[in-house]
Structure 1
């Protein structure tokens, strides 16, 4: 999957120059728990399991994925934030749990930078979809239908404060549609969000491409557009919102990163930086990420924190402008 040039890490090549000192010789000394803060079958779960199955050869220990769900990713994320900083409990941090969640929910028990960022794993296009039997196949048709029938249509998300909640809000705003025009139906995770559209329980949603790609390819849902500046390789016939004239949708680019509790030992951080640098060269891991519809994009700990911080600043501005916060 091609990554647009404007999304490339600023200095990925230089950041992967490994330090001369060795990481802790006894890390890890047992299994590592990787918390996926959303439900099974969704993009968070799939990203976590893809990384966990590929990384043992590079980190030197098994990684076990545990789904700890609730409150739009907050429960699992807060669990890891409060864990011991020994590298045995880590988090599959997400766009929703760390960028949009704290911005949309002032009562969230953590800030985006209350974690140790170990590295970016991948970037994710969001795709906006409608059911197979929807009368709309193009964005302009959909826009006219929603505007002509206020209160008729509903959309699903993983809950208030999640990434797809923000992206749906961006979609409505980009089309000049009052967010109250459509009815919000929250579900537990991205897998259920996609299923709700497949089953016709809701009329549209915007979701990470990875859990929706199979349904798009099988024709059980129809895509209206993707949030990356350019079309994605897996959906060459689906326009980007930018090419349709709505570049504000680029704020809806998701991601998966590896994070841990605050104040982790620098040697453990270094061990993961080295492991992810090697993972980046793995053809099988890159192919697995591609199959999920995501964009492999390993970044160093420093680059990851800078990337997330920059995105949070943009999202906070959007949330304030659209008055989306609780």
Structure 2
């Protein structure tokens, strides 16, 4: 038998073996590269958004709007759970978030200026600005002072006159103690030489309870974010006396404080945003900030802002953190000046 065919066969087998080995190395390298890419991908786990108040209010609307925009835009593939955890003027949800979710970048908390006031009237030893990781301010919303359609107060001047005659005789409902809503009523009273501590202000945990109190006659006046009472404003069951914006708001038939002959300094807005727990890394923080920044640019988010009459007041990361610190001082000074907390 000739040796040539045998040698050729051996060379062929050796060549095939080398080719198979090389292909295996390439395939293994590709798998390792993909595994590395998957490990580095963000987000790689589902998010949970905690809302430290009940359903229907501004924080709840924010949390569910973020959920909607992230998923419908395709920025997040997994489902996002929104979890309501009300109590203690929103401080219960903040406290549990800080204590139980430390170091987890997939846990987010919906927050607003309300919490900066609530923490100053609470015995719970955590603060929004000191114990969370700032991600982004997403929107601001102006407030309205509103009454039932059959109210004797037809204008904001009617309400001010009633408060001058009997400061405690008007039952005013709003958000939690120390909230921007209570600050607004206190500053309105103060600007008209009415003692803010004499005002009857009843705090509620969520907006739906405030609306129910107003429509049932348990309350005379409500101070709320416009989106929280928008359907009642639109159907006419509730009438806005004034809005806290510097200029009129399209679709809301109510004057500004300045137009009503009151102090223009009463113009103010309640901002809302997202924070992460303490203890996440700088890289994780930057990843979440980048994701939320991308969401802000989507059509889905911009449509939400328009539908809810929210102003786009985006501030990301450290800028948001600096702003919260400044807001905390401003709200604290206002509460002290109104005699609502100790100086």
Q: TM-score normalised by the shorter chain: which range applies?
A: 0.7 to 0.9
Distance 2:39 2:319 in 1: 22
Q: Please, what TM-score do these two structures have when normalized by structure 2?
A: 0.81
Contact 2:171/2:219 (<8 A) preserved: yes
Corresponding residue for residue 279 of structure 2: 263
Structure 1 residue 215: deviation in Å?
Answer: 1.1
Contact 1:194/1:207 (<8 A) preserved: no
Residues 55/79 of structure 1: CA separation in 2 closer, same or farther (3 Å cut): same
Distance 1:295 1:123 in 2: 5
Q: Structure 2 matches for 1:1-150, cutoff 5 A?
A: 25-56=40-71, 57-82=74-99, 83-97=101-115, 99-105=116-122, 107-111=123-127, 112-150=129-167
Corresponding residue for residue 176 of structure 2: 159
Structure (1/2) with the larger helix percentage: 2
Distance 2:219 2:289 in 1: 42
Could you list the per-position Cα deviations for residues 228-286 of structure 1 after superposition, in whole angstroms to 9, with x for gaps in the alignment? 22222332x32222444423323x42111110111222222222222222222222222
Structure 1 residue 193: deviation in Å?
Answer: 1.3
**Does 2:304 match 1:292?**
no
Structure 1: runs of 5+ lacking an equivalent: 1-21
Question: Does 1 or 2 have the higher relative contact order (CA < 8 Å, sep 6+)?
Answer: 1
Task: Name the SS for the 2:287 alignment partner.
Answer: helix
Distance 2:179 2:77 in 1: 33
Residues 186/240 of structure 1: CA separation in 2 closer, same or farther (3 Å cut): same
Q: RMSD between aligned alpha carbons?
A: 2.2
Distance 2:186 2:172 in 1: 11
Structure 2: runs of 5+ lacking an equivalent: 1-36
Contact 1:92/1:256 (<8 A) preserved: yes
Corresponding residue for residue 247 of structure 1: 264
Contact 2:146/2:223 (<8 A) preserved: yes
Distance 2:167 2:182 in 1: 19
Corresponding residue for residue 219 of structure 1: 236
Structure 1 residue 194: deviation in Å?
Answer: 2.4
Could you list the per-position Cα deviations for residues 208-228 of structure 1 after superposition, in whole angstroms to 9, with x for gaps in the alignment? 111112211211111121222
Q: Please, what TM-score do these two structures have when normalized by structure 1?
A: 0.85
**Does 2:186 match 1:186?**
no
**Does 2:207 match 1:198?**
no
The structure with more radius of gyration: 2
Runs of 4+ in 1 over 6 A off after TM superposition: none
